[in-house]
Chain A
Amino acid sequence: MTSTSGATVELRGVTKSYGSHQALAGIDLDILPGEFVALLGPSGCGKTTALRALSGLESINSGAILIDGENVANVPTNKRDIGMVFQSYSLFPHLTVAENVEFGLRMRRVAKPERILRAQESLELVGLGHLAERYAHQLSGGQQQRVALARALVTRPRVLLLDEPLSALDAKVRVQLRDQIRLIQTELGITTVFVTHDQEEALAVADRVAVMREGRIEQIGTPETLYTSPATPFVANFVGLSNKVEAKMVDGAVHLHGEKLKPLGDPIAAGPVTAFVRPEDIVFAASGLAATVVASSFLGSLRRTQVRLDDDSLLSVQHEVGYAVQPGDPVHVRFLGSAVAVEPIVAG
């Protein structure tokens, strides 16, 4: 398989409204060649709209969309040289798997022998070379999506777009397939945009993640950055798990339960705030805050335990499997001192 050098993708000030509802309120995004970017956010945040605008299936009201520096706003979808994988039902039911994969090559008037060869190669790439003569309804959901991927890649597009390709699949298949997608993408070096509402999925596969909310990008960065340094409370809450703890901002520091922590993000005025503390930033210790165990979940490689503090608030603590506790056990917890995101509590 020859490598494809990816294209650059730029979105500048892209807006899109449906009547009175604004789906995109000004999107700016720069994607490097061969980069894997995930658009992450709750439903209605505009991530799918942004992807469809990129593909040309959705028009935009203002702004520019540039692929390799060329403004494609007026280029119809079938001329943008992109590959797209949809959430479901996109395989043509009356064609075999091989014919489905050959379709894009057929549109480009590739000769039959070459078409068959390249389609077979593409199917081997996703591990389905042996199912070439099957039909879509004879395949499982995961297999169908792999065929869809092979079909999108066979024409060696300059950009690959994936619209929640794993959302309709079983949990286990989802994990397997996302790793496979990442592997293939890295091998081929295609610039890729991946839309999902599952934050774990986004963090697992992407080079960079753009968290979107109400038509805007809240924060874009590497998975680590998003996780450890969320720029806004929304990102802190959406990415990974957080304990919401009542605290106070005093002199630029976050005071909670007798500890002083550094705040992340823009400076906030003094007053009551909600602090977002990660479960792994709280530990069990010999001394510290007194608490009682409420429930403990075994999660395979780690444990998460809920404890109740003296003021009746609940905390979720993540710890190693070896330390097993029972409901009702008295324990002590301490905060590890990492910086936390904070959100002012609005009165009323």
Chain B
Amino acid sequence: MSTASRLGTEPSKLTRWIILGVVGIIFAIPMLALLEFTFRSGLSGEHTLDHWTGLVGEDAGRTYRNLFTGIMNSLLLAVVTVGIVLVVLMPTMVLVQLQFPKLKRVLEFICIIPITVPAIVLVVGLAPVYSVVVKLFGGSIWTLAFAYGITVLPYAYRAIQSSLDAVDLITLSEAGRSLGANWLVVLWAVLLPNLRRGILAASFISVAVVLGEFTIASLLSRVNLQTALLQVYQSDPWVAGIITLLALAFVFILLLLIGRLGSSRRDRSNA
């Protein structure tokens, strides 16, 4: 028995694999069931590839037009939301870290509010706001990203802040300035490269949250991936299942990449 096991700080190998095995199997079942479902042909109990091939068939564009619209909309929304994160949130966080340390608590509080004010509550007050937005910017789907920027605030904030905490921004910028660089150069050449990890993590998480968002889109009567999925499900549950699995896989890979990013730059945290 290793020392750690003997001390009790770690489970024994057997315990570990029993727990992870049981929980893992239980959690795999719904995904496997969904996968199996996408191969079913009706209620006969037989299986077919038709549902999968139908997606790339000739009529696919027409039959699943709403679904494809939803997918494109969500991708567009993801891009715009990441834009908001990078252009509005991130510079503000850097600015506060450098110039307004006393406001750090305030900023943190603001970015955590969306957890206490969930989407279902926010949407009650968003409807009147959006009637104004539509008057100003038209009814296109991308304006929904304004609301999404708020919903991703807690996640993006945490991701960027952990990068900010790991790097001593103030010292770095002072060093850069003392060597003769102006603020723009300092931001671009000194600070941003060091924040790359947090920025990428924030972006990926934002994409994941936007792709999975349903509440606001649905209650503001917009079409996105999730609302389209629900609608498709009424007529063609198999395709709904297929897209679900593909979307889950896509986001899984995205988040796996964040995890890999974390390990390539060795964390200087201590126990």
- Say if the two chains contact directly (CB < 8 Å): yes
The reply on A330 being an interface residue by CB < 8 A is no
Sorting the interface of chain B by its residue count into under 10, 10 to 19, 20 to 34 or 35 or more gives: under 10
- Interface flag for B116 (CB, 8 Å): no
Q: How far is the CB of B222 from chain A (nearest CB, A)?
A: 50
Using a Cβ cutoff of 8 Å, how many contacts connect chains A and B? 7
* Contact assessment for B3 and A58 in the assembled complex, using a CB-CB cutoff below 8 Å: yes
The chain B residue sitting closest to A57, CB to CB, is: B3
The size bracket of the interface on A is: under 10
Chain A residues, Cβ within 8 Å of B7: 57, 77
* Chain B residue contacts of A57, Cβ below 8 A: 3, 7
Give CA–CA (A57, B6) in the complex, Å: 9
CA distance A245 to B6 in the complex (A): 52
Q: Name the prevailing secondary structure of the B interface residues.
A: helix
In the complex, A59→B3 CA distance in Å?
Answer: 8
Q: Which residues of A contact B6 (CB under 8 A)?
A: 76-77
Instruction: Tell me the minimal C-beta distance from B159 to chain A in angstroms.
Output: 28
Residues B1-21 near A (CB distance < 8 A)? 3, 6-7
Q: In whole angstroms, how far apart are the Cα atoms of A76 and B6 in the complex?
A: 9
Closest CB of chain A to B122's CB: distance in Å? 38
Residues of A within 8 A of B3 (CB): 57-59
* Whole-angstrom CA separation of A2 from B26 in the bound complex: 60
Q: Which residues of B contact A77 (CB under 8 A)?
A: 6-7
In the docked arrangement, what's the CA distance between A259 and B6, Å? 61
Q: Flag A108-146 by CB within 8 Å of B: 1 or 0 each.
A: 000000000000000000000000000000000000000
How far is it, in angstroms, between the C-alpha of A76 and the C-alpha of B7 when the chains are bound?
A: 10
CA distance A77 to B3 in the complex (A): 10
Tell me, rounded to whole Å, the shortest Cβ–Cβ distance linking A48 to chain B: 14
Chain B interface (Cβ < 8 Å from any Cβ of A): 3, 6-7
Sample of 7 A–B contacts (CB below 8 Å): A57-B3, A57-B7, A58-B3, A59-B3, A76-B6, A77-B6, A77-B7
Tell me the A residues contacting B by CB distance below 8 Å. 57-59, 76-77
Q: Which 7 A-B pairs have the closest CB atoms?
A: A57-B3, A76-B6, A58-B3, A59-B3, A57-B7, A77-B6, A77-B7
